[in-house]
Amino acid sequence: MEIETPLSSWDGELTCVRYDSGTGAWFLVAVHSTRLGPAAGGTRAMTYPSPGEAAADATRLAGAMTLKMAVAGLPMGGGKSVIRLPVPRAKLRAETWRQILDVHASNLQRLHGDYWTGPDVGTNSADMDYLRKATDYAFGRSVAAGGSGSSAGATALGVFAAIRASVDDAGLGTLAGCRVLVQGLGAVGARVAEMALEAGAELLVADIDPKRCDAAQARGARVVNVAEVTRTSCEVLVPCATGGLISAKIAETIPCSVVAGAANNLLRDAGSADVLAERGIVYAPDFVANAGGAIHLVGREVLGWTAEQVTVRTLRISQTLKTIFENAHKQGVSNERAACDLAASELANSTVAGAGRGFEGNN
Ligand code: NAD
Ligand code: PPY
């Protein structure tokens, strides 16, 4: 994909692109909206076929952050950064990774707080600790370094609340005895899998990392081939890997009753939400279901919330989803459409356009 394609068709406020010849990495920062406050969203570091694909991912993810912040009632806008690595992170020398983070930190510092980053796929709290040596604009440092630590626990809690609300809307009753298929057993997915087991679900798992599957199998899970995830019968599909799992074509045949997970930008194309709705599959929109991490990072580090307050706000995701499901039923639209409409009305009703500019954080 040419880099012009995603950039020229995007409705966001700002994109910054940099290539660093020293490391071979490309850096993309996408600021979608600062209407509710400074843009925030994690740094994704992985390989992409071309800088165009990396830009497409950054812009799509940044747009989803705007929706996530609006629906979660957080005073931040939407942004995301993508680092297109020359080789997978596991194969990078430690020294090269540090050089990459140095370049990223200097880019962020030049944005003067219009964009705040945090961990995402390919980055973690230790990376945020390192970034904060050279930029003020990173959430999610380790607790030892004065940050709020990993957001994965809050994200998993929110995803599980979303699963319960969706199972209820699908008329399945409780999770006990339901087949729950978790795709991706990373920081979020492994936690959700444990919660499903505790709730009496029959657990199915899929991960490209066989060690993660083995660990789940030892806990009683049945392992599904990664290529079979969207063809495996289950009541609840929980995507917790990377996005784009469900296209309109896949939605036509996917054998489940509920889709609710953590993966950002789960739907590959615009038509997939309508197909899921037409088939009566309850879809919990990703930017609503996975907001626990943003609630944790912004709640703890900007709003000064306690861990208990973060938990209460995260569990409220199930109530938000019930409202979205009701609106969707009443208006005869997909859950995705109803969630986007809710975000749009929060953004339109906001009286604090750009209020976050100049925000300094509390740490
Ligand atoms: P992670 O990197 O810890 O875990 C991802 C897991 O998915 C890994 O175990 C990996 O091996 C597996 N995986 C990758 N590709 C796969 C495939 N094709 N099939 C099966 N498994 C595959 O990431 P995470 O922090 O658990 O996040 C998971 C998803 O949730 C991501 O899309 C992320 O953007 C989203 N999310 C995470 C948070 C958070 O707080 N961590 C917040 C919001 C959204
Ligand atoms: C996400 O929720 O997708 C994130 O990127 C996490 C996040 C949220 C707020 C600030 C930084 C990272």
* pLDDT tens sequence across 280-338: 999 999 999 999 999 999 999 999 999 999 999 999 999 999 999 999 999 999 999 99
Crossing angle of helices 51-72 and 292-301, rounded to 10°: 70
Q: Are 140 and 128 in contact (CB under 8 A)?
A: yes
How far apart (Å, rounded) are the C-alpha atoms in residues 7 and 27?
Answer: 14
pLDDT at 356 over 80: no
Which residues are tagged catalytic? 80
Q: Which pLDDT band holds residue 205 (cuts at 50, 70, 90)? A: very high
Alpha carbon nearest to ligand 1 atom 29, residue:
263
Higher model confidence: residue 351 or residue 355?
351
Per-residue pLDDT of 161-196, as tens digits, reads 999 999 999 999 999 999 999 999 999 999 999 999
pLDDT at 70 over 90: yes
Phi/psi at 166 (5° precision): -70, -40
How far apart (Å, rounded) are the C-alpha atoms in residues 192 and 196?
Answer: 6
Q: Which pLDDT band holds residue 359 (cuts at 50, 70, 90)? A: very low
Crossing angle of helices 335-349 and 317-331, rounded to 10°: 110
pLDDT at 96 over 70: yes
Out of 124, 148, 188, 213, mutate this one to test ligand 1's pocket (max ligand atoms within 8 Å of CB): namely 188
Range of weakest confidence among 26-40, 152-166, 241-255, 344-358: 344-358
Q: Nearest-CA neighbor of 69 among 40, 44, 42, 43?
A: 40
What percent of the chain has pLDDT above 90?
Answer: 96
Instruction: Using the atom order of ligand 2, give the atom closest to the CA of residue 64.
Output: 3
Given 3-state DSSP classes, what are the helix, strand and coil percentages for the chain, each rounded to the nearest 5? 45, 15, 40
Q: Nearest-CA neighbor of 104 among 75, 133, 68?
A: 133
pLDDT at 60 over 80: yes
Q: Are 61 and 264 in contact (CB under 8 A)?
A: yes
Instruction: Using the atom order of ligand 1, give the atom closest to the CA of residue 190.
Output: 26
Higher model confidence: residue 358 or residue 334?
334
Which residues lie below 8 Å from residue 26, measured CB to CB, with a gap of 6+? Answer: 17, 18, 19, 20, 51, 54, 83, 84
Q: Nearest-CA neighbor of 186 among 170, 206, 164, 157?
A: 206
**Which DSSP state fits 346?**
H
Per-residue pLDDT of 211-228, as tens digits, reads 999 999 999 999 999 999
Q: Is the dihedral of CA 245, 257, 272, 165 positive or negative?
A: negative
Alpha carbon nearest to ligand 2 atom 10, residue:
41
Give the Å distances, CA to CA, from 123 to 98, 127, 167.
12, 6, 32
**What per-residue confidence (pLDDT) applies to 177?**
94
Question: Is the pTM value of this prediction over 0.75?
Answer: yes
Alpha carbon nearest to ligand 1 atom 2, residue:
121
Phi/psi at 51 (5° precision): -60, -30
**What per-residue confidence (pLDDT) applies to 297?**
98
What tokens appear for 20 in the block? 């660093």
Out of 44, 128, 224, 242, mutate this one to test ligand 1's pocket (max ligand atoms within 8 Å of CB): namely 242
Contact 242 CB / ligand 1 (< 6 Å): yes
* CA 290 – ligand 2 centroid, Å: 9
Tokens 């076929």, residue located: 49
Average pLDDT, the chain: 96
Alpha carbon nearest to ligand 1 atom 25, residue:
187
pLDDT at 360 over 60: no
Q: Nearest-CA neighbor of 54 among 14, 86, 32?
A: 86
Residue 147, SS3 per DSSP: coil
**What per-residue confidence (pLDDT) applies to 270?**
85
**What per-residue confidence (pLDDT) applies to 351?**
73
Half-sphere exposure of 134 (CA within 13 A, CB side): 15
Q: Which pLDDT band holds residue 362 (cuts at 50, 70, 90)? A: very low
Residue 243, SS3 per DSSP: coil
pLDDT at 363 over 60: no
